[in-house]
Structure 1
Amino acid sequence: MEMNSSVNEFILLGLTQNLLKEKVVSVIFLFLYLGTLLANFIIVMTIRYSQTLQSPMYFFLFYLSFADACFSTTTAPRLIVDSVSEKKAISFNECMTQIFAFHFFGCMEILVLVLMSFDRYVAICKPLQYTAIMSQCVCDTLVKLAWVGTCIHSSAQILLALKLPFCGPNVIDHYFCDIQPLLQLACVDAYVINLLIVFNSGTICMVSFLLLLISYVLILHSLSNCSREGRRKALSTCTSHIIVIVLFFIPCIYIYARPLTVFPVDKMVAVFYTIVTPLLNPLIYTLRNAEIKQAMRRLWCNKV
């Protein structure tokens, strides 16, 4: 993997170079990461073993929680360990692996959010055809297509990263390996590669965001024909989804849908979609969903 590079390892600067702030960062993000794992694990196990959460919405939520836990794991442990380490080194192969895993589970989260919005659109706008359209076979096929799309995206990212030659500087001004910071270190003109990244990651973020906005505009428009109770329930569900979408996609679009320019604030923006959103997803879906809370209570009581 290192044939195009004379660099064997990279140094990650992290979020801050202040020793005291680094210790604070390690403690804060350790609790955030453990909370993310616990919350998503509870949702995954609840949906897996509950007999009442068998609808397509919870089928997709299962994969969203799984993707959230894995997505957070691609960056948070490295950030926590580096915050208490003197040498924040990551090998070339580990860096490439992190890029692949980061884009793999990040893209999976995006595609699952799109599938969830499609499910809500069918449930609210076409309730009589919902069972036929969102059958188990269709849901399985959609998730498989999402896995395929994720593999294509992450493979394209890692191929672009492997083509970059590194012949000197190896300090990455970030807390994890991503292809944009690496472009700053490459000893070639990275303009074309940056355009390919924008076309790849930027297009996925923009198109998915627009699809989500369109679906929820159609959903909100169709609520005028619903009863007051149905409108209230649909609005509650859509509001939680829209919160997740805004928190996840706006930072992603800011990072990936622009020309090659790195700003100091980029690291803090990345925190939102790499660490904060994977924690907020299960909290929003759990606290705003009575069915999941009831299923959790039933499963807990049965286990006790």
Structure 2
Amino acid sequence: MDARHENREKIPEDEYEDGAERSFEKDTIALEDMPEIVIVTGMSGAGRTEAMHVFEDLGFFCVDNLPASLIGNLLALKGMPGQPDASRRLAVVCDARNRDFFPNLKGEVEKLEREGIDVCVLFLDAADDKLVARYKSSRRRHPLCTDGTTIAQGIERERQMLYDLREMAHHVVDTTDMLPQQLRETIRSIFARGNERRGLAVTVYSFGFKHGAPTDADLVMDVRFLPNPYYDPDLRFLTGLDAPVRDFVMYREETVEFVKRWRALLDCVMPGYVAEGKQQLAIAIGCTGGQHRSVAIAESTGDYLKSNGYRVSVAHRDLKLAPRAAQE
């Protein structure tokens, strides 16, 4: 698995040169080295729902509670309108909720392997007493407790039903003592080794304080202390996306020192967010109008985070409000 999941994409960083072309990683984790289909199964209450959230973050097309007999049909539909793109990987949950169909899963996996499909079975397990406690806490009914049996009896039935499948699974993960964050880290270490940072979706956006402070940001940086291009008549009606404004902002001595310290701060906090299991992070960078300084710094910040392996999108909240009367 390690060799297949090695991240081979390199991202050249050229931040300050005018007109330089810059290429970045795709915004989703590269899937070509991952299994074509991952079948998530195992004991009810062992963490299948949390596992599917991780696969969604990794860019898989996910289907929950799929009858085993339909797996082949789903693979055949890839790339058709309304279906997952042919290049995307699939993750499906097949479990004891499909009582009549579930016993066919082992045979379906063997069939896929004979057809040359790169299939991986992830089996989630946990100790019986932990499963009982989880069901009591959730107040949900165990799928095999429909005839008045106890939770413990339903778990025993399910364990017998799953015995052969557990034996053939490519990966068995025991979640007895795992927190959700630990399960997410474990799955990423199996299926996206070296891409842990890509599980965190980062949005960097600029804004203008005069249009209102952000309400959804996790980190806010005020760059109004930097020299303002607005007071240069030649730059007033340009934006931080234009080279003259970008150079005015980024080449200032004050900005060079700020960027160095800002990146050091990001280097400190970003790994912590990844380790904590955070799925989405919003970084807001503000100046007075959201037209010049914040735009240039937001672009630079997004480029830096991308170059360090994060999945980043950059937006400019108030750029549409920039004055353009002198250009019209």
TM-score (norm 2): 0.24
- Larger relative contact order (Cα-Cα within 8 Å, sequence gap ≥ 6): 1
Q: Over alpha carbons, which structure has the higher Rg?
A: 2
Determine which structure has the larger helix proportion and give its number: 1
